[in-house]
Amino acid sequence: METDPRPLRVAIADDALLLREGIAKVLVDGGLELVASVGTGAELVEIAARGDIDAAVLDIRMPPSYRDEGILALEEMRAQGSTIGVLLLSMYATPEYALRVMGTGSGTGYLLKERVSEPQTLVRAVETVASGGSVVDPEVVEQLVQRTRADDPLSRLTERERSVLELMAQGYSNGGIAQALFLGLKTVETHVRSILQKLDLEESPEHHRRVLAVLTLLGAR
């Protein structure tokens, strides 16, 4: 008889103990395994280097400067070769931070801390980055969309294609997009192919092209 796969192993880094406990409860209740809960990015980098976790959830602003320690920790983990999923949490929708996060490659995400009160959203985001996908908070996506210029490649997309791309940025799979937009799966697949073509993304593994499409959305000005 087949056994259930082991749960995703997750570590949390946030200098606010109560918030760490809240995140931990949401993740454990969602079926994930909490491996460590620490107060600094440096501690999380050490944990990631041991290879004991599949994903990490960490605050962007932590000691000592309370500016971008979480992103610096992410960048250091990637520099060390870590491919774990990393979800950054922030009090504010800051597009510039989101761009830095997503610029480190696949398996990353940026959410507002208020999503901790939305258990399914938080758990799905962790699962998405752990599987190599990308997640961006809807508020950040909206800000970036509003910056889009008429000559930007995104202007080539239809309204429906833009909706599909925004959901891609939030970490939805094709099946999830189909459910959210009440479309057939084949229709969504057609929209995704059209998006990749209109954004002039060269042939490569589809997952990689999806990340590039999301980065195009995030890079819009």
Mean pLDDT of 33-59: 95
pTM of structure: 0.71
- CB 101 within 8 Å of CB 88: yes
Q: How confident is the model at residue 1 (pLDDT cuts 50, 70, 90)?
A: very low
Buried b (16+ CB within 10 A) or exposed e, 129-149: bbbebbbbbbebbeebeeebe
39 burial level (CB within 10 Å; 0-12, 13-18, 19+): middle
What is the average pLDDT across 74-94? 93
User: How much is the average pLDDT of 93-121?
Assistant: 88
State residue 83's pLDDT score.
93
Average pLDDT over residues 25-38: 96
Q: Which domains, from first to last, does the chain contain?
A: 9-137 (3.40.50.2300), 147-218 (1.10.10.10)
Q: What is the pLDDT of residue 3?
A: 47
